[in-house]
Structures are given as C-alpha cells and as structure tokens.
Chain A
C-alpha cells in the first residue's frame, strides 16, 4: 500500500532558527498536505498543495509539492516556542467513489527558548 516517510524523525532547535523537514513516498500523490499536532490536541491543517512544483506560504511556513509528485518539504522560518509539536505530511489517495487521506509518521519539533 501507499506509505509516506518523513525526515527527520525529531528536531531540537534554538528559537529563531529556520527549520526544514521532508516527506517522501514511493507512490505519486495528487495532493500533499501538512498538518500540525499540538500536545494533547488533534492535527490542524497548515498547508495544502495541489500541483507539482507548487510553492505555498502560510505566514512563516512555506511548503512545496515536489516535481516528481513523490515528495514535499515544509520550511518554518524564525521558529518560536509555539511551533513545538508534531508535523505530519499527508497525501490524498483517490479511490473510485471516495478519497482517503493517509499520514506520514510525523516529525517532532522542539524549540529551545
């Protein structure tokens, strides 16, 4: 089945640093998504990408849909303590009568003040 891989698994950075994380798959996806999960909460959608090569920003966050359609990256600039959490990439799988969203294993981000 389709599987997503994320790297790194975890990151510890100083406040103010920029962050970069990746997501790869052996399969092609038509839509890539990035979600963030705060401790004790459910994931929240950050960015959705719909076209190969697309670069989209949401405040300090920037994400790109890889040209091969098998990867995506997320950058966070000038990190702050509230950026702490788990970042999940996700891909949308299209079936005959419905779509399914599958998630990568996540990148855990810790920001040291």
Chain B
C-alpha cells in the first residue's frame, strides 16, 4: 500500500480553469503538507495542516485553498490557474507538527497552457 498517495499524477489544463489535487496518507500521521517544486527543482513549502488545523501558510496567492476534511486527507484547490502555476506539487506527511521526517507522495505535475 502506498503511504502517501496523491491524484492525479498529471494534470494539463487551460489558463483560467479551476482544478483540485487530492492527497491521502495511511501512516496515521497528524501533520500534512503541500510543497511546490518549480522547473529548477527547488522545493518550497506552501501549506501545513496539523490534525485538520492550518498551521503554515507561506504567502501563497489566495487562489490556492487547501482543505483538510480529516487528518488523513489534505486537498489543494486552485482557482483561475495561471501559467506560472505550472510545477510539480508534492503532498507530504509527518508524524507530528514537530517532526522533521517527511514522507512524500509521488507528485502531481501540473501544466497550465
């Protein structure tokens, strides 16, 4: 069983559309994250949720809205997609809010045309 799974793997869409990426972890972890990896492979944290509560919001445009229905799921909804949103988005989880060991999903490659 995949520990952190995210869907879809690939997402190709037009500018201006709204899209969602889903993430689920079966590790029993309390904390989940969204990271963005740009074309130069730089990984930057976007959001973190601990037990459904938002704890990190790294000056991400408000077109990005994370939602955590329960501690095993963290979804990312993006409104009015722009060309610059094209990137690989990684979901990750950790056992607790003060735990450095992150478990990543395999990523969602978003291409905005």
Contacts and interface: CB of A to CB of B under 8 A. Distances in A.
Contacts of A11: none
A41 B100 contact: no
Interface size class of A (residues with CB under 8 A): 20 to 34
Contact of B97 (A35, A45, A97): A97
Most buried by B among A40, A42, A48, A88: A42
A75 interface: no
Interface size class of B (residues with CB under 8 A): 20 to 34
B45 A102 contact: yes
A19 B97 CA distance: 34
A12 to B, nearest CB: 17
What is the interface of chain A mostly: helix, strand, loop, or mixed?
strand
B43 interface: yes
A100 interface: yes
A44 B98 contact: no
Interface string A96-111: 0111111101101000
Interface of B: 4, 40-45, 48, 50, 55-56, 90, 92, 97-107
Interface of A: 31, 33, 35, 37, 40-45, 48, 86, 88, 90, 92, 94, 97-103, 105-106, 108
